[in-house]
Amino acid sequence: MWTYDRKLQYPVNISKPDANSAKIIITQFGGPDGELAASQRYLSQRYSMPFKQVAGLLTDIGTEEMAHMEIVCAIVHQLTKGLSLEEIKAAGFDPYFVDHTVGLWPQAASGAPFTAAYIQSKGDAITDLVEDMAAEQKARTTYDNLLRLVDNPEVRDPLKFLRAREVVHFQRFGEGLRIVQDHLNSRNFYAINPEFDMRKPKSGS
Amino acid sequence: MDNYIDRVLSAVQREPDTAPATENAFDNTYLGRLPLAMAYVPFQRWGSIYDPCRALQRGTIFPDLDLPFCGRELI
Amino acid sequence: MPRTSREELMRNLQMMSFVLDDIALFLQTHPTDQAALRCYEKYRHLKREAEEEYMNAYGPLREDNVYVTNRWTWADMPWPWERQG
């Protein structure tokens, strides 16, 4: 289960609201390669993962992604708190404002709502880990693009931290894949799916 | 961790380096020995780590994984 | 603007906690790495000290460790997603 720690993994202190930045950074909350998608992907995959170490990895990283979601939401919240109506209209933030005021709602920068279609939990150990490695790269590229577009150092700071975590997670998932490979036949890694074809025989047979 | 892939790579590293340098040298000496149609990430080895202040600032304790975006840097 | 004491104690806690997080993640895929295990032990203590220091001065970090007087203090300090200070 989960315990809530009353702290952010990385501090967020933004002194000036900015709806333009909020509009794009929200994509790392509810967008296709954002932290909510990452956390749900990994936490969903862990149940059928038969290799304990890898299930542990999925749990740990899935949990860390929830903490990252919190950081992204803290950024968007601080960028939108105290906005005037003029600032909201000037930034084109009014469509979001109409439906959510300055509340946080999981969507992509495009406005597309969060959906499970952004994630896969295929129930195959190799497939899921390769999916996870791809997810970390997609997230990294998204942070690269945000860093191209955002000037304020108070905002860039936590974004750079979050980007760095994606690189580390990629390495860990890569190692997780190596651990899975070690349990399989290297003459043909794809002969079976260890999540389904390695069921224990029923007792008594 | 003594798994199959590590044993393959260790065996390769012990062989004398007689192959001429070609653009496929890396594949011939290391990756080429591994089974096809699979992705491999090398296991990281533990080394020195950043002090806590720098670690938080960089987003990792590991200098080897500190690979920043340089496409644009104002600060 | 000079840093407040609460910000300093929180920052110190975030540093120790983060180092522990990254070591623990390494240990997930390197469970027998002795150097990493020793490092984990060291930072486990450092994080615990940083937590105690923060909690004694500024209140609870987890709901299972709220110091009970005559009122429930869990919601007292600014929540982590607010601008601090």
Q: Is B74 helix (H, G, I), strand (E, B) or coil?
A: coil
User: Nearest 5°: phi and psi at A131?
Assistant: -55, -45
Structural domain includes residue B42: yes
Q: What is the pLDDT of residue B32?
A: 75
Inter-chain touch A163–B58, beta carbons under 8 Å: no
Q: For helices C5-29 and A52-80, what crossing angle results, to 10°?
A: 150
Q: What is the pLDDT of residue B3?
A: 65
Q: What is the pLDDT of residue C32?
A: 97
Q: Partners for A (CB, 8 Å, 3+ pairs)? A: B, C
Q: What is the pLDDT of residue A126?
A: 98
Q: What is the pLDDT of residue B1?
A: 41
* Partner B contacted by A165 (CB < 8 A): yes
B54 to chain C: nearest residue by CA?
C15
List, as ranges, residues 57-116 from A with C-beta within 8 Å of C: 57, 60-61, 64, 70, 73-74, 77-78
> Residue A6: pLDDT band by 50, 70, 90 thresholds?
very high
Lowest mean pLDDT among A27-31, C31-35, C44-48, C64-68: C64-68
Q: What is the pLDDT of residue B31?
A: 77
Task: Domain of residue B49: give its range.
Answer: 4-65
Inter-chain touch B74–A190, beta carbons under 8 Å: no
Name the average pLDDT for chain A: 96
What does the pLDDT look like over A23-70, one tens digit per residue? 999 999 999 999 999 999 999 999 999 999 999 999 999 999 999 999
Question: Is C79 buried (19+), middle (13-18) or exposed (0-12) by CB count in 10 A?
Answer: exposed
Structural domain includes residue B73: no
Q: What is the pLDDT of residue A179?
A: 97
Spell out the per-residue pLDDT of chain B, length 75, in tens. Answer: 446 677 776 666 666 555 555 556 777 777 778 999 999 999 999 999 999 999 999 999 999 999 999 987 554
Total domains in chain B come to 1
More confident residue, C4 or A114: A114
Contacts of C19 in chain B (CB under 8 A): 49, 52, 55-56, 61
* Partner B contacted by A160 (CB < 8 A): yes
* Partner C contacted by A7 (CB < 8 A): yes
- Contact of C9 with A156, CB cutoff 8 Å: no
* Partner A contacted by C50 (CB < 8 A): no
pLDDT over 70 at C48, yes or no: yes
Rounded to two decimals, the ipTM of the complex is 0.94
Residue A158: which region, alpha, beta or left (left: phi > 0; alpha: psi -120 to 50)?
alpha
For chain C, the structural domain boundaries read 5-62
CA distance C2 to chain B (A): 18
Q: What is the pLDDT of residue B25?
A: 72
pTM reported for the whole predicted model: 0.92
What does the pLDDT look like over A77-130, one tens digit per residue? 999 999 999 999 999 999 999 999 999 999 999 999 999 999 999 999 999 999
Selection from A65, A30, A17 nearest residue A173 by Cα: A65
Topology of A19-182 in CATH? Ferritin (1.20.1260)
